[in-house]
Chains A and B, each alone.
Chain A
Amino acid sequence: SYVLTQPPSVSVAPGKTARITCGGNNIGSKSVHWYQQKPGQAPVLVIYYDSDRPSGIPERFSGSNSGNTATLTISRVEAGDEADYYCQVWDSTSDHVVFGGGTKLTVL
């Protein structure tokens, strides 16, 4: 089955740019979606279709996808961005949803 690989943790100073990667075999051929999850809360969709933002999501959140890596980029990081982030794709070969293992973003 299709596997998505995320780094367990990423740290960034406030005001800087955080990049969270999601690796998968030829992931560039798939549409990647990203969720933010804060402790005790349900996940929130922050990016869909590689780089589109749902309404209400700040422009500081952006996404890209090419080759074997998709990336969620958070610009001008704020303390409130500290959360777990999950990538997700639809594996069309087996018709199911796949989540990455999640990345904990720490704002220093």
Chain B
Amino acid sequence: QITLKESGPTLVKPTQTLTLTCTFSGFSLSTSGVGVGWIRQPPGKALEWLALIYWNDDKRYSPSLKSRLTITKDTSKNQVVLTMTNMDPVDTATYYCSHRVSGWNCFDYWGQGTLVTVSS
């Protein structure tokens, strides 16, 4: 059974760096084809993809946010970490991590999401 859970601060100040951790079970990020993605959703708005990391440590980022994002994995801990620098109130959103369908860049298992508010 695949599960994912996001953790991190619920409130960050403008200009701070956000660090979110995705802790998962039921699969290994060392297995060929496996990937974990991050997607966010501002309140009342659409889904926005942020980043994707593959089993081979290949990484992809949203072009519009690439300069602010870093995604890493710790295979031994079954964790993926996303950092986003220079946070702004427009970054207020629910942040989800998700499991990539092997062979396809889509997501079949999602965490419950964590709401991050950016405010001074």
Contact = CB atoms under 8 A, between A and B. Distances in A.
Interface of A: 1, 31, 33, 35, 37, 42-45, 48-49, 54, 86, 88, 90, 94-102
A42 B63 contact: no
Nearest to A43: B110
Interface residues of B, number: 22
Contacts of A35: 47
Interface of B: 37, 39, 46-49, 52, 60-63, 96, 101, 104-108, 110-113
Nearest to A31: B104
Contacts, number: 59
Nearest to A34: B106
Contacts of A101: 46
Given A42-B111, A86-B46, A101-B46, A48 B104 contact: yes
